[in-house]
Amino acid sequence: MKTAPVPVAADASIEPLFPPKKTMEITNKSRSQLYREIRQGTFPRPIRIGKRKTAFIPAEIRAWIAAQPRTTSQEAA
């Protein structure tokens, strides 16, 4: 039995979810770093989109990036 599609407003913009690989590219983190920070509670948790597949909500990743302290190249050196 199929379920009926969920109605969506015509002007609603639906943004695709970020797979882990894209999230790693955007944040410049390795897979182990990413999941370590998720376990520590310092990075947004992914959502399960399949039996063995997860993805990240783009707005949560952007909010996490915006909340990070900014450093200049002089401070990093």
Domain edges within the chain: 20-66
pTM score of the predicted model: 0.72
Question: In whole angstroms, what is the distance from residue 74 CA to residue 60 CA?
Answer: 29
Residue-wise pLDDT tens digits, 56-67: 999 999 999 999
Angle between helical axes of 20-27 and 58-67 (0-180°, round to 10) = 20
Q: What is the pLDDT along the chain (77 residues), one digit of tens a residue?
A: 566 665 555 555 778 999 999 999 999 999 999 999 999 999 999 999 999 999 999 999 999 999 999 877 666 55
Give the distance, in angstroms, between the CA of residue 15 and the centroid of all CA atoms in the same chain.
Answer: 12
Q: What is the pLDDT of residue 5?
A: 64
> H or E element: which one contains 11?
none
